[in-house]
């Protein structure tokens, strides 16, 4: 029977994130939990009181260091670490293996254990499964760890396999050495970056009477993606009724990612180590206090934090302490960083219990990845003169007098979403006008003909640009998911077409100008070419290259957001031939096209391809835009009842000087005119 009485309270919908409680000999622990590292029976620069105020519930202590100094006799004399350091909460001890295998120094390893020379007094020691447990018993920790053989996560298969088998034999010896001690003991899953070994290791250890299982051998040499993948894989094979501990991880973003993948417990020296270097984690990104930008700032480190440091000391003072290498700088920044970690854990736990962890996860990711955006790093200017707008390739960031930023193409001078804030225009023209939120809701299967309404909704986002329309769709999806829950939603597939990724890359680099990009998705899309929402209900794909090259091979859309550069710049995308190809490809189901253009040439091109064409909403100075439907009944049933072009329009068209699409020969003009006049849309007209 487990010594921790682990109780799983909730698992977040659409994620593997878990909230749980377990009980140790020194009190209850609520997970996900972060354990500050107290290497030498002290968390550097913190008193027991400050640790408690900061929200610490469990501490980690290092068996290796405590074995060498002060040694087991001292712990036995004081009756254990709790009384020794005056900490009455739970303590977890590692086995010492990590230090033996990773620190430089003399050691000799065999089946029995590792022999090494003390860095304190040169004495020879044996660290074996038995001596490690013996030392952890003397320390009197609440949770002990088995001795494992640590190897780099990049180790080749044979080496990783041998280390795994040795770790398994040592795990069994550790359990025997623990005997009937009331202290809990965790096993450690090894296997480096070899999926088969990770699986085998988890399968072996879950049969043994451990009180929890740790994922070892990560955060030592692998990439972030590998770590996420192997954490995911490991938790898939760990039992749900035991706590899961990812050793030595990590930064706040690493922890968020690992909680999402089902890990409960973490330890890391980063909050103290970075504090020592003058770095703080804050709600507006990482801040480096050596930077002179903070010298005169009289505001708190993080206005959203209630820790001692943020309540009492302005940034200017912290900058001064860091510059002067004062001990207090380390102490105050560590106090804040540890508080920041515990608040992150608490927020994750609360969102898991509420059931909206996924939304929290997506919101938090970009926050945890950025640097202080209010005081961005700027490089000294080499030349005088007005600052140049950020540029990439053929594009630059432009700021409007109204305070929003857009992307301008230098060669054409054309600005994406020039007339109003990009996200406002995107919402009005594409999201609200297409009633996207309603369409995302699956119609109950009992209604007649509803089967297709529960099927995947496909949106084509033609002209990704700086992802304004795509992100507006994504935010609409997330709002609808939060309001109605995952079972009420149809799956959404957003397909973005773009031949030039520079605008999005540029905007992502300057995300402080583009609030809609403060989300993990556009960054993932650029890196991987696709992104899947954690709920699994939305997939965003990027088709790079010419839209026309992908048109017929992409899944037929329900909605088309048609937003390439204008006909003047991107002539090829506004022709009757292109709209005819779109209409043919969309024949399988009704499709609707939304575009910012109200040009006669565009509307007539759509009509000639068989679309039913109507007036769209105006935006900024534009009185109207264009909506088009492949089937007449889509217009009639449309929630915003758009007005199809009628007799007035036809009259105006007949008088128009730009009546025919560019390139139409004189012989073809009469038949083109007949084609438009005989369009069924105008048939009922008097
Ligand atoms: Zn603070």
Residue corresponding to tokens 């009980």: 23
Task: Give 385-403 pLDDT, tens digit per residue.
Answer: 445 678 888 888 887 766 7
Query: 148, 211, 264, 267: which one is catalytic?
Result: 267
Sheet of strand 107-109: strand arrangement: 107-109, 114-117, 124-127
Q: Is the pLDDT of residue 509 over 90?
A: no
Catalytic residue flag (residue 106): no
Q: What's the whole-number mean pLDDT along residues 118-131?
A: 91
Q: Using 50, 70 and 90 to split pLDDT, how confident is the model at 382?
A: very low
503 CB neighbour count, 10 Å cutoff: 26
pLDDT at 128: 96
Task: For residue 589, give the H/E element and its range.
Answer: none
Which one has a higher pLDDT value, 106 or 518? 518
Ligand 1 centroid to Cα of residue 336, in Å, is 4
Q: Using 50, 70 and 90 to split pLDDT, how confident is the model at 405?
A: confident
Ligand 1 centroid to Cα of residue 303, in Å, is 8
Cα 180 from Cα 239, distance rounded (Å): 23
Ligand 1 centroid to Cα of residue 454, in Å, is 47
pLDDT at 450: 42
- Residue (of 97, 99, 90, 83) closest to 35 by Cα position: 90
Return the ∠ at Cα 552 (arms to 547 and 554), rounded to 5°. 75
Ligand 1 centroid to Cα of residue 330, in Å, is 13
Q: What's the whole-number mean pLDDT along residues 426-435?
A: 91
Q: Which two tokens stand for residue 573?
A: 């995308």
Task: Give 566-589 pLDDT, tens digit per residue.
Answer: 877 788 899 999 999 999 999 999
**Contact criterion met (CB below 8 Å) for 293 and 375:** yes
pLDDT at 447: 43
DSSP 251-286: SHHHHHHHHHTT--EEEESHHHHHHHTTEEEETTEE
pLDDT at 408: 84
Cα 430 from Cα 560, distance rounded (Å): 9
Residue corresponding to tokens 């305070």: 403
DSSP SS3 for 35: strand
Ligand 1 centroid to Cα of residue 415, in Å, is 41
Task: For residue 164, give the H/E element and its range.
Answer: helix 157-178
Q: What's the whole-number mean pLDDT along residues 228-251?
A: 93
**Contact criterion met (CB below 8 Å) for 56 and 346:** no
- Residue (of 309, 268, 298, 301) closest to 284 by Cα position: 301
pLDDT at 683: 80
pLDDT at 388: 66
Q: What's the whole-number mean pLDDT along residues 512-533?
A: 85
Ligand 1 centroid to Cα of residue 278, in Å, is 14
CA distances from 506 to 42, 409, 443, 513 (A): 46, 12, 40, 11
- Residue (of 458, 453, 444, 420) closest to 617 by Cα position: 420
Q: For the chain, give the mean pLDDT.
A: 89
- Torsion sign, CA atoms 151, 251, 265, 127: positive
CA distances from 638 to 390, 433, 556, 645 (A): 42, 10, 20, 15
Which one has a higher pLDDT value, 267 or 410? 267
pLDDT at 223: 79
Task: Spell out the residues 6+ positions from residue 207 whose beta carbon is closer than 8 angstroms to its own.
Answer: none
Task: Give 291-322 pLDDT, tens digit per residue.
Answer: 999 999 999 999 899 999 999 999 999 999 99
CA distances from 380 to 297, 398, 513 (A): 20, 21, 21
**What percent of the chain is predicted at pLDDT more than 90?**
62
Residue 125 φ then ψ, to 5°: -130, 155
Q: How many CA atoms lie within 13 A of 330 on its CB side?
A: 13
Cα 664 from Cα 667, distance rounded (Å): 8
pLDDT at 101: 79
Ligand 1 centroid to Cα of residue 356, in Å, is 26
Ligand 1 centroid to Cα of residue 307, in Å, is 4
Q: Is the pLDDT of residue 445 over 60?
A: no
pLDDT at 448: 42
Q: Is the pLDDT of residue 384 over 50?
A: no
Ligand 1 centroid to Cα of residue 516, in Å, is 27
Ligand 1 centroid to Cα of residue 218, in Å, is 29
**Contact criterion met (CB below 8 Å) for 462 and 540:** no
**For residue 287, what are the β-bridge partners?**
280
pLDDT at 470: 96
pLDDT at 135: 96
Task: Give 531-566 pLDDT, tens digit per residue.
Answer: 999 888 999 999 998 899 899 999 999 999 999 888
Cα 498 from Cα 515, distance rounded (Å): 21
Task: For residue 190, give the H/E element and its range.
Answer: none
Cα 560 from Cα 595, distance rounded (Å): 8
Catalytic residue flag (residue 236): no
Helices (H), 541-610: 547-550, 576-585, 600-608
pLDDT at 333: 97
Cα 5 from Cα 242, distance rounded (Å): 9
**Residues belonging to the chain:** 686
pLDDT at 103: 66
**What percent of the chain is predicted at pLDDT more than 70?**
93
Ligand 1 centroid to Cα of residue 345, in Å, is 15
Task: Give 642-668 pLDDT, tens digit per residue.
Answer: 889 998 899 989 888 778 887 788 898
Ligand 1 centroid to Cα of residue 659, in Å, is 66
Q: Is the pLDDT of residue 371 over 50?
A: yes
pLDDT at 105: 67
The residues placing their C-beta within 5 Å of ligand 1, an ion, are 305, 307, 309-310, 336
Which one has a higher pLDDT value, 416 or 64? 64
- For strands 530-532 and 538-544, give the pairing: antiparallel
Q: Which two tokens stand for residue 411?
A: 């060669």
Residue corresponding to tokens 């190897």: 151
**Contact criterion met (CB below 8 Å) for 329 and 277:** no
Cα 529 from Cα 523, distance rounded (Å): 10
Query: 94, 264, 558, 563: which one is catalytic?
Result: 94
Q: What's the whole-number mean pLDDT along residues 28-50?
A: 96
Task: Give 447-496 pLDDT, tens digit per residue.
Answer: 444 445 578 999 999 999 889 999 999 999 999 998 898 889 999 999 99
Q: Using 50, 70 and 90 to split pLDDT, how confident is the model at 379?
A: very low
Ligand 1 centroid to Cα of residue 629, in Å, is 55
DSSP SS3 for 185: strand
pLDDT at 122: 87
- Residue (of 451, 452, 468, 469) closest to 460 by Cα position: 469
Cα 130 from Cα 624, distance rounded (Å): 79
Ligand 1 centroid to Cα of residue 55, in Å, is 12
Task: Give 137-193 pLDDT, tens digit per residue.
Answer: 999 999 999 999 988 888 899 999 999 999 999 999 999 999 999 999 999 999 988
Q: What's the whole-number mean pLDDT along residues 614-636?
A: 87
- Residue (of 164, 215, 226, 167) closest to 191 by Cα position: 164
For the purposes of burial, counting CB atoms within 10 Å of the CB of 280, is it exposed (0-12), middle (13-18) or buried (19 or more)?
A: buried
């Amino acid at each position: 029977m487990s010594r921790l009485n682990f109780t799983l309270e909730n698992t977040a919908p659409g994620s593997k994130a878990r909230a749980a409680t377990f009980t140790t000999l020194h009190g209850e622990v609520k997970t996900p939990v972060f354990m500050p590292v107290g290497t030498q029976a002290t968390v550097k620069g913190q008193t027991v009181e400050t640790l408690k105020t900061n929200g610490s519930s469990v501490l980690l202590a290092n068996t290796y260091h405590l074995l060498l100094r002060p040694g087991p006799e001292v712990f036995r004399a004081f009756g254990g670490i709790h009384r020794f350091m005056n900490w009455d909460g739970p303590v977890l001890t590692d086995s010492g293996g990590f230090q033996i295998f990773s620190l430089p120094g003399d050691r000799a390893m065999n089946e029995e254990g590792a022999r090494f020379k003390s860095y304190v007094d040169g004495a020879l020691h044996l660290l074996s499964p038995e001596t490690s447990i013996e030392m952890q018993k003397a320390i009197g920790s609440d949770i002990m760890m088995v001795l494992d053989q640590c190897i780099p996560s990049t180790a080749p298969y044979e080496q990783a396999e041998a280390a795994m088998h040795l770790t398994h034999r040592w795990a069994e010896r550790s359990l025997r050495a623990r005997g009937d001690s009331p202290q809990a003991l965790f096993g450690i899953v090894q296997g480096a970056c070899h999926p088969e070994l990770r699986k085998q290791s988890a399968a072996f250890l879950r049969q043994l009477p451990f009180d929890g299982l740790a994922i070892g051998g990560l955060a030592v040499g692998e990439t972030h993606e590998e770590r996420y993948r192997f954490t995911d894989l490991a938790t898939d094979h760990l039992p749900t009724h035991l706590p899961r501990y990812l050793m030595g991880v990590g930064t706040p973003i690493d922890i968020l990612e690992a909680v999402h993948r089902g890990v409960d417990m973490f330890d890391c020296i980063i909050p103290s180590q970075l504090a020592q270097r003058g770095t703080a984690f804050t709600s507006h990104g990482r801040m480096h206090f050596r930077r002179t930008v903070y010298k005169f700032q009289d505001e708190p480190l993080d206005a959203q934090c209630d820790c001692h440091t943020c309540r009492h000391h302005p940034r200017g003072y912290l900058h001064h302490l860091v510059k002067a290498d004062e001990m207090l700088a380390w102490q105050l920044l560590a106090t804040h960083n540890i508080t920041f970690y515990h608040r992150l854990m608490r927020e994750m736990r609360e969102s898991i219990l509420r059931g909206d962890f996924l939304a929290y996860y997506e919101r938090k990711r970009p926050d945890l990845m950025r640097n202080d955006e209010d005081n961005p790093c700027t490089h000294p200017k080499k030349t005088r003169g007005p600052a140049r707008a950020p540029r990439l390739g053929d594009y630059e960031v432009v700021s409007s007098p109204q305070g929003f930023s857009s992307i301008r193409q230098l060669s054409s001078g054309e600005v994406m979403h020039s007339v109003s804030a990009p996200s406002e225009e995107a919402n009005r023209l594409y999201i609200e006008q297409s009633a996207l939120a309603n369409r995302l809701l699956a119609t109950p299967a009992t209604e007649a003909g509803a089967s297709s309404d529960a099927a995947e909704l496909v949106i084509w986002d033609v002209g990704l640009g700086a992802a304004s329309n795509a992100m507006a769709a994504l935010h609409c999806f997330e709002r609808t998911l939060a309001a109605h829950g995952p079972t009420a939603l149809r799956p959404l597939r957003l397909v973005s077409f773009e031949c030039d990724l520079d605008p999005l890359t540029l905007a992502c680099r300057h995300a402080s100008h583009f609030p809609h990009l403060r989300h993990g998705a556009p960054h993932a899309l650029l890196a991987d070419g696709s992104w899947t929402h954690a709920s699994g209900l939305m997939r965003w794909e990027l088709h790079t290259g010419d839209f026309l090259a992908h048109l017929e091979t992409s899944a037929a859309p329900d909605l088309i957001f048609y937003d390439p550069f204008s006909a003047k710049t991107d002539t090829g995308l506004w022709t009757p031939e292109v709209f005819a190809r779109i209409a043919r490809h969309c024949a399988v189901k009704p499709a609707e096209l939304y575009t910012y253009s109200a040009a006669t040439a565009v509307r007539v091109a759509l009509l000639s391809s068989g679309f039913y064409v109507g007036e769209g909403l105006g935006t900024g100075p534009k009185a109207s835009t264009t909506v088009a439907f492949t089937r007449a009944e889509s217009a009639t049933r449309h929630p915003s009842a758009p007005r199809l072009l009628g007799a007035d329009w036809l009259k105006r068209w007949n008088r128009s000087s730009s009546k025919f699409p560019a390139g139409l020969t004189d012989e073809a003009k009469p038949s083109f005119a007949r084609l438009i006049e005989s369009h069924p849309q105008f048939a009922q007209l008097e």
